[in-house]
Structure 1
């Protein structure tokens, strides 16, 4: 009996000891931070795992049994995007950081994987910054041959230091999970500095994916690919001209898709991530391009219709999109936005007689537009009754005045997702959105320029 009790105690103790966790200390302590959420990072997705309260700036999260190895995210400030990422390999992790500046203060007290990765990033990021700065200095020196020679020699020494540091970390991390990230983070630097920014940019793009293996399952269970590709598409392809910029985006997207090849799971995640990024830029043209040329051609099991619907809804009022059609009654007959055809430019303004700003801005807009035959205003008054509308709309006799009863619940207001008045939309003759001015001054500026 005694032996059985000892065995039971041993098993209980072994189970307790085998429980892995991540333990953190945030200093200074911020009272507004109440809890930490643990997510598993898998491609472009954050998969919720669990959450715990923060007590006196400290927290401890137990990893669930059989948690997969990979990259995890600790989110401690949802409102301000506060988080730190960790590598999990069935070993407990202890860390500390300043929650107001996590990227520059994060320290790992335990977990060899994370300690190695943190040291690697500190050392190599510093050397990369030096190399990039030296290359930039050479561009500025122009004809100063002595200074260029000195800078070039310093560049070569720094490059050698970087290569030796990279090799050291790759060798010392063999058989570790972090080795996958270290090898894939190796950046190509030319033996000599470039004489022009264009040559440098060409080299950057040519060698950007040299060390990235898109079949690496460890990297797929992280955000490595996502961050790498987003940087390539959005930061290595820049132009001030909209059309040129879109062509650069398209070329970059084509290159990325070609690199990923037949890895449909990764391709789906990357395409979705790019579309979400373009939705932030309200670039509906590039979203449509990705959907038509790549996403819709994925096997059905890798398509997520809810993702696409959400992305498309987020840009339905983007510049270049058709404004939602709506109808109203005028002199006993039904009229509609799409059928009206009396101007080159239309302004749809949502206002209300109970809105003090509107009662100032809308009459001013009327005086500004009056006499301009190329611009026609459709004023949608969001009201609870007809009294105010009947009183004020008569003053705007050259406009099309539409009464929107039930105010915020009015069908037109809901179609345009109106949450405040006044709200402005400028449309071209085909009823495509060409501007979304924030205030009356913005409306005036746009009309005067165009």
Structure 2
């Protein structure tokens, strides 16, 4: 019995060492109760757990090793706080004003260091070029010239080497951001530019921190840009051939590329690589499966997934499918979207004509501010609804929304029959221009 007890104690101690705790503190006036912890996979947030605060403190136990970006999201107030994990306890204290995060105090060593590093990098990239230009107009022997030189030297120098053994994620992030993505890596000096083979080799050989670092998406965009618009297929095929799409890394990159092509409306390439993904004979990752499902939901001919309304205006229907009409126009928009400001009034001008054709408009907002949303919809007689969660809204992933405004036209059975690019295409479809 004693040996069994000792073994159990050892295993329990090992389990405790393999986990870390994320602690978030807020002032008493912060009204949220629920908070959600996320990790990162490429550019996708992955839900870990949901916790309720006790005395304005939230504690999340993470049971596995994890190094990378994390965030905690407060859905009721649409507040998000981002931080990193180096597989050690994380502690943050939030300063709140009007139930919104005003400032974050990083109480653990890794996040405090990362915050200082980020602040220094921003100054280096934004301020250093301006100071360098100003210096051309002042001599070094003047007081101002000397002060300029001192500041330029300070910003140009190494802000302090990071001990990779002590802070592996910060070292990884800073080193590879500086090499591949910072302004200094995009110099006019061609000899200093990173070429495609270097990017491919890095993506292929990099460890798990690539997926958790937030570097993958911008790195792929930079990679595609370096190959030029005329050689997109060649660039992608070269990368995927090296990575092998049967592997988890290859499928994550394939998923990211499909999302990039979708966001930039490069439909030819999006469809080509969706077809590649669909034809894979191996087991596919959750990440790639999610991308395929989101795209399938928004394909022409698909039944538009139902959505349960939160607090919809101008209707008694409880869900999108309960709305009865010969045709439905679905529009994803926001009160802060300049294109929406231009397009929705045109839809409003023809709304009575559309109603006469038994066409119903359902507008799902990506707003976060209730007052802004409420003021705007006061002029909209169609069905309006929102989660007030911005790009964290559930329908962003469900309907594969990458921009506002985004339009869908559905038939009476909620099948997608058209995906107009602009309001002019919507009005033209119904002959009400």
Normalised-by-shorter TM-score class: 0.5 to 0.7
Cα distance, 1:205 vs structure 2: 6.3
Classify the secondary structure of the residue corresponding to 1:288. helix
Gaps spanning 5+ residues in structure 2: where?
A: 305-325, 330-345, 361-409
Q: Structure 1 CA distance, aligned partners of 2:429 and 2:149? A: 49
The residue that corresponds to 1:20 in the other structure is 20
Whole-angstrom CA distance in 2 between matches of 1:12 and 1:297: 43
Structure 1, unaligned runs of 5 or more:
139-144, 239-243, 325-348, 366-378, 384-409, 418-424, 426-431
Indicate the residue corresponding to 2:258 in structure 1.
Answer: 275
Q: Does the 8 A contact of 2:41 with 2:211 survive in 1? A: yes
> In the superposition, relative to structure 1, how do residues 230 and 182 fare at CA in structure 2: closer, same or farther (>3 Å)?
same
Equivalents in 2 of 1:358, 1:50: separation in Å?
A: 41
How far apart, in 1, do the equivalents of 2:20 and 2:186 lie? 48
Match of 1:222 among 209, 212, 222: 212
| Pair 1:247–1:131, CA change in 2 (3 A) | farther
Partner of 1:370: none
- Which protein has greater RCO, CA pairs closer than 8 Å, 6+ apart? 2
Q: Is the 8 A contact 1:220 1:266 kept in 2?
A: no
Partners of 1:282 and 1:315 within 8 A in 2: no
TM-score by length of 1: 0.53
Q: Show the counterpart of 1:186.
A: 178
The match for 1:40 is 39
Cα 1:214–1:380 change in 2 (3 A) is same
- What residue in structure 2 maps to residue 284 of structure 1? 267
Distance change >3 Å, CA 237–CA 48, structure 1 → 2: same
1:415 is displaced (CA, Å) by: 1.5
Give runs of aligned pairs for residues 347-366 of structure 1, distance below 5 A. Answer: 350=327, 361=350
Deviations 1:382-431 (Å, cap 9, x if unpaired)? 69xxxxxxxxxxxxxxxxxxxxxxxxxx96451237xxxxxxx6xxxxxx
1:174 deviates by 3.4
Is 2:173–2:213's contact at 8 Å kept on the other side of the alignment? Answer: no
Matched residue, 2:295? 311
Aligned residue number for residue 61 of structure 1:
60
For 1:155 and 1:253, the matched residues in 2 are separated by 44
1:108 aligns with 2:106: yes
Return closer, same or farther for 1:173/1:99 CA change in 2, 3 Å cut-off.
Answer: farther
Deviations 1:258-282 (A, max 9, x none): 7757783222112212323443455
Residues 132/78 of structure 1: CA separation in 2 closer, same or farther (3 Å cut): farther
Aligned match of 2:94: 97
- State yes or no: 1:174 paired with 2:165: yes
Q: Shift of residue 52 of structure 1?
A: 1.2
Q: Which residue, 111, 120, 123 being the options, matches 2:120?
A: 123
Where 2:300 maps in the other structure, the secondary structure is coil
Root mean square deviation, CA, Å = 5.7
CA displacement at 1:84 relative to structure 2:
1.3
Q: What does residue range 254-403 of structure 1 map to in structure 2 within 5 Å?
A: 257=240, 260=243, 264-292=247-275, 295=277, 300-302=282-284, 304=288, 307-314=291-298, 316=300, 350=327, 361=350, 381=358
CA distance in 1, matches of 2:105, 2:40: 20
Aligned-partner Cα distance in 1 for 2:281–2:40: 23
Whole-angstrom CA distance in 1 between matches of 2:240 and 2:15: 46
Higher Cα Rg, which structure: 1
Aligned residue pairs: how many?
Answer: 330
Shift of 1:87: 1.0
Contact 2:67 2:86 in 1 (8 A): yes
Q: Give 1:222 deviation, angstroms.
A: 0.7
Find the residue that maps to 1:437 and give its secondary structure: helix
